[in-house]
Homo-oligomer: A and B are copies of this chain.
Amino acid sequence: MPLPGHSAVDRDPLIKAHRTADATLTVTANGAPLSGQEVVVAQRNHKFLFGCIGFDLIPLANGDLTTNAATSAATDAERLADRWLDLFNFATLPFYWGGFEPVRGRPDTERLRRAAQWFADRGCLVKGHPLAWHTVTADWLKDLDNAEIARTQVDRIQREVTDFAGVIDTWDVINEVVIMPIFDRYDNGITRICRELGRIPMIRMVFDAARAANPRATLLLNDFDLSAGYECLIEGVLEAGIQIDALGLQSHMHQGYWGEEKTLGIIDRFARYGLPIHFTETTILSGHLMPADIVDLNDYQIPDWPTTPEGEARQAEEITSFYRTLLSQPSVEAMTYWGLSDGGWLGAPGGFVRADGTPKPSYQALHSLIKGDWWLPPTTMVTDPEGRVRFNGFLGEYEVSAVGKVATVRLDEPGPATLAVDL
């Protein structure tokens, strides 16, 4: 009998089927096949978006840590950045309106642009999160009437999406709409207008604004409510003809790992809309779990939430199980982990790196997938008489080196792939 959360199904054949290609690569030099030559093929990137929030690295990206004597902080940040970049290729940056523009008309654009560029320069896709949300929204919206709030929301989206186009072309446009108009923990401008407009007109308004500002952007609807309520919302949005590019599913697991069966059930329900699925906010703990009776995770605030050896062993297993489960399902295109280091949201021990900067077993476990089992290290092959080499590799970008020259190829679709490079 399999352990809870550990299916008896071997996921490797599915992962291989959906995530790898069998490449036949013809190497030529000046148009002539290079036969019987040594060729080195090395994977450079994954097509799958292995994501993480990049909030912690914004000061480093802005050089904020090198202007004073805080050498140790800078070194720590650089070490963390190296660990981050060794695992991930997809960064989420914070655009919470209340933090981004605490004073109306003074947005934090430059600092965020430098951070986004820093990640882009290092080969990462960057996502902004979120453009509309009732939580952490700008407090000054409450001074406006509803028509003005709506106009300001639209303007804000046009501004950010335009300002960041080319560096950030992926956005969580709107967050947690299922609860948005009935959110009752405190008054805020976004709940007010969502209640007046209705959910679908609200979504249409913000998506129209984002689409107009950057027609090439990938625009997500994102929610923590994975019940039938989100399905109903999605079906209404699609019925209304609003184009959603990907569905965001939050997946904070402070109350315990879902296990494979539940995870597969959720993917099954949301995959049937034919849209790519992004797991947008995943947390799996390496300490004690939050009690199951907490409904709003924000209600659990404790002074110290330690990581433990047993918790770290469990977390490493669960991380492996979760990533393997997601990659076995072709609809899932991205997975964003909610913080590399401990002590982020709610102070939970949800990172892959402890507060002291040392990596947990989960870091090694994930690394051994992303840069191990699912990665082609530099591999020397010899071409056949027609100049061909053959290899199986995970979808992504590869460097091909021979006769002192280098070229790049991409594996974009699973299954047989015929490629050619002329060196």
Contact = CB atoms under 8 A, between A and B. Distances in A.
Residue from A181, A195, A225, A236 with most neighbouring chain B CB atoms (10 Å)? A236
> How many copies of this chain does one complex carry?
2
A228 B176 CA distance: 11
Interface residues of A, number: 24
A200 B269 contact: no
A110 interface: no
A interface, over-half SS: helix
B231 A200 contact: no
A229 B228 CA distance: 6
A272 B195 contact: yes
Contacts of A406: none
Nearest to A184: B265
Nearest to A240: B239
Given A195-B272, A229-B227, A236 B182 contact: no
Contacts of A179: 228
Contact of A232 (B195, B199, B201, B272): B199
12 contacts: A178-B232, A200-B235, A225-B228, A227-B229, A228-B229, A230-B232, A232-B233, A232-B236, A233-B235, A233-B236, A236-B237, A240-B240
A182 to B, nearest CB: 6
A198 B273 CA distance: 9
Nearest to A233: B232
A233 to B, nearest CB: 4
B229 A199 contact: no
Contacts of A198: 235, 239
Contacts of A228: 178-179, 182, 225, 229
